[in-house]
Structures are given as structure tokens and as C-alpha cells.
Amino acid sequence: MDVHVSLVGRKDLTGEIYRQLRRAIVDGRLKSGQTLPPTRELARRLSVARTTVTVAYDRLAGEGFVTSRVGSGTCVSAQAARAPQEAKRPSGPGALRPRPVWASIPLTTAFDRPARFDFRTGVPDATLFPHEQWRRLMARELRAEAAGTGVYAHPAGCPPLREAIARHIGISRGVEASAEDFTVTNGTQQAVDIIARVLLAAGDRVAVEDPGYPPPRRLFESLGIRVVGVPVDQEGLVVDALPRGVRLIYVTPSHQWPLGGTLTLARRLALLAWAERNDAAIIEDDYDSEFRFQGRPIEPLQTLDTTGRVVYVGSFSKTLLPTLRLGFLVTPPSLRDAVHRAKYVTDWHTSTLPQATLARFIDTGEFARHLRKIGRVYQARHETITRILAEGFTDHLELVPSAAGLHVAAVARRASAGEIAEVARRASRAGVEVQQLSTFGVAAPAPPGLLLGYGAIPTARIEEGLRRLRACWEG
Ligand SMILES: Cc1ncc(COP(=O)(O)O)c(C=O)c1O
């Protein structure tokens, strides 16, 4: 990439070019070994005589900032480039300061280096991504006639994608909504952000599952919204424990995060009735509903809802890739326009190229085939992990029953949270990455235990990974 040089006025042009290039070298934007633009090219770009540039380069060379070699151009010399100057970015008094809330929001460590035996949650198997088909469909969308007019698109998302998702979710989950009720988002996280903007103000109260999925909670906190943790039992969220005055409830009914249970039908109906009585909204994060290995799926809250209180949220992070940042929300008609406006002020719209590619991927039936294929792989991993935990870990861990998703939770039988932390540390040293259940509590720490994800770990490594994990109890 070429360094930026700009000239204002017509005085001392050589001096100006010299000073700007020297600054770029000194503050580290131009690194040692990097070449400066050829003098002829820079002169053309700046509309000056070539000698104006040549003299500036000669001066830089004379002072040792650059070296010129015939045939290989002018490069920044090794001794000239220094680290960026801290003095220009003060961190002491007078520096810009973020609001205090940001100090309490940790950055996720999910993007750390992968482990040899990677049982982390929240990540799918990237090797299962349909690279070939995706490349082919994306190339098609890149053709000039498919690229469209170049103007911004509608915040709700590309119509073919909204229609494709509406059809798919209508069939696979029974979600009753028309394409107009769908808004394409950059994943679940943005869907939650949009709903929060549309429905909530600073100081409002939101209920989340305890233990629960941290990112939406952090988002609410960053907006000045008060978050209340509500306990979860074998049937899911304990509706009777919901405090009054809550304006919105965020739930993961298909696969409670992190414990892994399913919100029972009785609790779903109780939750809807509670929301109606208390004039509250519900965000139904239906993540992992695509991966159900036993039993019949329970109807989504969105379908059971008769009063338009549920916002249904879906994501392609597990079924395709989290890096695509593609998700969607389904809103009751009363919120539709405000949701489009909130999406517009947030980022105008989601990138249209992946949207168009995904629309074709769903329409051609390839997405449904892909889901069947990866579902079989994840089911095999789920069976392997639950079998080994049931056979070899009973003295240490009690598996929480779960019939869906890409991870299982296991509660410690005797060990304290501190002892489990030690097991996780030893495991990490043995190349086995696991997460601790206790860290996902909201009001108080969750029970000591482990979460074992099987999105990232190849089936063939599960047995050895768990054997190593087992050894970590012995020290
Ligand atoms: C509970 C829950 N919801 C949603 C997601 C997906 O989030 P996003 O679509 O923002 O990638 C995850 C990913 O791990 C999750 O655990």
C-alpha cells in the first residue's frame, strides 16, 4: 500500500514531500525495507515535476532515512525506522478516557490459538464449511451484472435472503412469519443490540438466565441497562423467580446456554403468560436448534406467542461459520419499522455479497443438505463424549442431560470451583482446552464443573483428549 502524501499550496513542495515521508518513517507507518513509490509515479500523483520528488528522496537518502539502489528503488533503511512514538499518544492525564463500564467488560478469549484437543464451546468445525459450493456461488454473485447498482441496500437485508430464510425457518422450526418480518443482521449479537435499541432505555431492567451466555448481558450493561440473573433448573428458566419490573427477558430455549437443557413446554407457556401479564418482551435466541439428536423439538416461543411479544433470533455462526457474521431476527409487525431504522443507524445494512451467496445456498437446497451432513458428524461426537463421560468420569463429573447443540455440561461431584480450575489448568498444559462452568454465573458463580464443546475437535481426537483430561484429576 502506498504511503499517503498530500500537497496543499505550491510553496516548498520538495520540503513538504521530504517532511511527510520522514514523519511516516519515524512514526513507524513506513517500516524498514518498505519501498517508497517510484519518483515518476509520485510526481504524477502529486502533479509536480519529477525533480521535485527526486530532490526530496535525495535529502532523505543523505540523512540516512532511505537507501536507493538501481533496479530495486528507494527503500526505508534498517536503522531509520523506529517504534511508533508514544509521546504522541499520551496515556497520562489529559488522554481520552472510555466510560467506566468498559473496564468491567472482558474481551472474549475465543480467538486464542486453537489447542491440540480443543473442547472449547461456541465454535463449529471449520473444515465442514462447504468451501467449494460457497466459492462457486460467491463467484457468481461477483459477476458485474449480479453486483447491482452500487447504491446502499435496504437495512432489512436482501429480499431473496429474507425470503429464503423465512421459508427455511418456516419448515425447519415452524416459525410463522412472512419475509417482511425478517431482518438480516451481523449475527445474534447485533440482533440483540438492535432489539435493545428499539425497546429499552438506560436504567431499564432485563432478565437473563443464570448461568447464561455472557455477550448479550455485556451488551445490555454497556447500554446502561440493569441486568438481573434468573435461576435455571431442569425445566429451564424458573419463571416464578422473574422479578417484577423487567422489560425484556433473554432466553436460549432450544439448548440452554451453558447447561444444555431444553425449556419445557409448560415453562414456555408460563413465560409467555408472564410476559403478557407484565407487559414484557422476550428475545428467543434459538441457537443450536439445528442440532437436535434425540426427541421431538418443542415449538418455538415465537410460534406459541399469540400477543406479539417474542422476537426470534437465529444465527449462521454454528451452521456455517462465525466469521461470516450472518444472523437474523424475526419481529412482530409492531416493531418492524423501528427495527429497520435501528439497523440503519447502526451500520446501514449487512454486506450484500454474503447475503446473496447465502440466499442461493439456501434456495438450491445445498444448505439443507449441508445441515444433514454436519448434523450426523456432530451427533457422532455428542454420542462419543457422552458415552465416555458416562463410562469413565462418573467418580468426578455428572453429565447434565442434553439432546442438542455443540457442547455438553458436566457438574463436579465433589471438587470445588478452585479444584476444577486446577484441573482445567493441568488440562491446558496437556494440550486439552476446556471451559469452567462456574465462570458463567450471573448473580453468583455457577456450580463447579466443565463445559465440553465438540464443534472444534475432530471426532478421532475426542477419546485421547478425554483420556488426557481424566488424568488431570490425578495430578
Ligand atoms: C447462546 C448463543 N447464542 C448465539 C450464538 C451465536 O452468536 P453470533 O451469531 O453473534 O455469532 C452463540 C455462539 O456461541 C451462543 O452460544
Tens of pLDDT along the chain (475 residues)?
678 888 887 788 999 999 999 988 888 888 888 889 999 999 999 899 999 999 998 889 888 888 888 777 898 988 775 555 545 566 777 899 999 999 989 887 655 667 899 999 989 999 999 999 999 999 999 886 666 778 899 999 999 999 999 999 999 999 989 999 999 999 999 999 999 999 999 999 999 999 999 999 999 999 999 999 999 999 999 999 999 999 999 999 999 999 999 999 999 999 999 999 999 999 999 999 999 988 888 899 999 999 999 999 999 999 999 999 999 999 999 999 999 999 999 999 999 999 999 999 999 999 999 999 999 999 999 999 999 999 999 999 999 998 899 999 999 999 999 999 999 999 999 999 999 999 999 998 899 999 999 999 999 999 999 999 999 998 6
What predicted TM-score, i.e. pTM, was given to this entire model? 0.84
Q: How many helices (H) and strands (E) does the chain have?
A: 14, 16
User: How many angstroms does the Cα of residue 208 sit away from the middle of ligand 1?
Assistant: 15
Ligand 1 atom closest to the Cα of residue 213 is: 1
- Residue 343, classed as helix, strand or coil, is helix
Q: Report d(CA 192, CA 185) in Å as an integer.
A: 10
**Distance in Å, CA 123 to ligand 1 centroid:** 9
Please answer whether residues 68 and 37 qualify as being in contact, where contact means their C-beta atoms are separated by less than 8 angstroms.
no
The alpha carbon of 252 and the centre of ligand 1 are apart by a number of angstroms equal to 10
Protein residue closest via CA to atom 7 of ligand 1: 188
Q: Is 386 left (phi over 0), alpha (psi -120 to 50) or beta?
A: alpha
Residues with CB under 6 A from ligand 1: 122, 187-189, 213, 252, 257, 285, 287, 315, 317, 322, 327
Instruction: Give the SS3 label for residue 25.
Output: helix
Mutate to test the pocket of ligand 1, among 111, 165, 188 (most ligand atoms within 8 A of CB): 188
Within 10 angstroms of residue 62's Cβ, the number of other Cβ atoms is 9
**Per-residue model confidence (pLDDT) at position 299:** 94
CA 194 to chain centre: 15
DSSP notation for 241-294: GPPTTEEEEEE--SS-TTT-----HHHHHHHHHHHHHTT-EEEEE-TTTT-B-S
Q: Which atom of ligand 1 is nearest to the CA of 316?
A: 9
> Which ligand 1 atom is nearest residue 121's CA?
14
The whole-number pLDDT of residue 161 equals: 98
Cα of 317 vs centre of ligand 1, distance in Å, is 7
Atom of ligand 1 nearest to the CA of 123: 14
Q: Would you give the DSSP letter of residue 369?
A: H
Please name the amino acid found at residue 429.
Answer: R
Tell me the best of 184, 208, 257, 328 to mutate to test the pocket of ligand 1, counting ligand atoms within 8 Å of each CB and taking the most: 257
Cis amide linkage into residue 258, ω under 30° from 0: yes
| Nearest residue to 194 via CA among 203, 204, 186 | 186
Q: What is the 224 CA–ligand 1 centroid distance (Å)?
A: 22
51-to-14, 243, 274, 292, 369 alpha-carbon distances in Å: 9, 76, 78, 71, 64
Pocket test for ligand 1, best of 317, 321, 442 (most atoms within 8 A of CB): 317
Residue 189 carries which side chain, given as an amino acid letter?
Answer: Q
- Note whether 258 and 437 are within 8 A (CB): yes
Q: Give the H or E element holding residue 45.
A: helix 39-46
Cell reading at 416: 470445588
Q: Whose CA is nearest to atom 12 of ligand 1?
A: 122
Residue 110 Cα to ligand 1 midpoint, Å, equals 12
pLDDT of residue 278: 98
What DSSP letter does each residue of 388-401 carry, written as one string?
HHHHH-TTTEEEPP
Return all residues near 99 (Cβ < 8 A) that are at least 6 apart: none
Which atom of ligand 1 is closest in space to residue 252's alpha carbon?
1
286 CA from centroid of ligand 1 (Å)? 9
Closest to 465 measured CA to CA, from 429, 427, 436, 435: 427
The atom number, within ligand 1, closest to the CA of 255 reads: 1
* Spacing, Cα 223 to ligand 1 middle (Å): 19
**Residue 267 Cα, ligand 1 centroid: separation in angstroms?**
22
- Give 316 Cα–ligand 1 centroid separation in angstroms: 9
List, edge to edge, every strand of the sheet that includes 407-412: 397-399, 407-412, 449-453, 435-436
CA 409 to CA 431: how far, in whole Å? 20
CA-317 nearest atom, ligand 1: 11
pLDDT of residue 283: 98
Give 369 Cα–ligand 1 centroid separation in angstroms.
22
Element containing residue 311 per DSSP (H, E): strand 310-315
| The dihedral formed by the CA atoms of 158, 160, 166 and 172, expressed in degrees to the nearest 10 | -120
